[in-house]
Amino acid sequence: MRERKSVKFNLQKQEHQNGHLSPFKVAKLFDPDASWDKDQLGDVLHWIRQSLALVCGLLWGAIPLVGGIWFILFLLLSSGIIYAYYALVLKIDEEDFGGHGALLQEGLFASISLFLLTWILVYSLGHF
């Protein structure tokens, strides 16, 4: 399994080098047999994190959820979803992509800022 994903990883690199990029398909996002380029996977994880930050910020601010514990909960929730996505849905071998740390930190800081910004704005504008 690991060899198969590594071979696919190298073939994808050759495709890029030859300039024949296949169009990115939405189906690839849920395909455990798809091959991923490191940059492509990193970008997907980044945008998933930003979407989660936006949704959680809007939700937390609208209800509203108040207290630092909800910030911690957001961190755990978003990291858990990202981990579940690449480990269980995509079945990625994290060693091909720099390990769990590299994958989990994709877009983390920007998502924390975006979450805080959205949470603060919705809370301030919606409840005062």
Which residues would be at the binding site for other proteins (CB under 8 A)?
6, 10, 13, 38-39, 42-43, 46, 50, 60-61, 64-68, 70-71, 95-96, 101, 105, 107-110, 113-114, 116-117, 119-121, 123-125, 127-128
Closest distance to other proteins from the beta carbon of 24 (Å): 14
Q: Where are the alpha helices (DSSP H) in the chain?
A: 2-18, 38-62, 69-84, 99-104, 108-127
Cβ atoms of residues 101 and 42 within 8 Å: no
Q: Which residues contact 44 (CB under 8 A, 6 or more apart)?
A: 29
Sign of CA pseudo-dihedral 24, 28, 41, 37: negative
Closest distance to other proteins from the beta carbon of 119 (Å): 6
Which of residues 28 and 64 has its CB atom nearest to other proteins in the complex? 64
Closest distance to other proteins from the beta carbon of 61 (Å): 7
Closest distance to other proteins from the beta carbon of 63 (Å): 10
Token pair of 33 as six digits? 């047999």
Which of residues 63 and 88 has its CB atom nearest to other proteins in the complex? 63
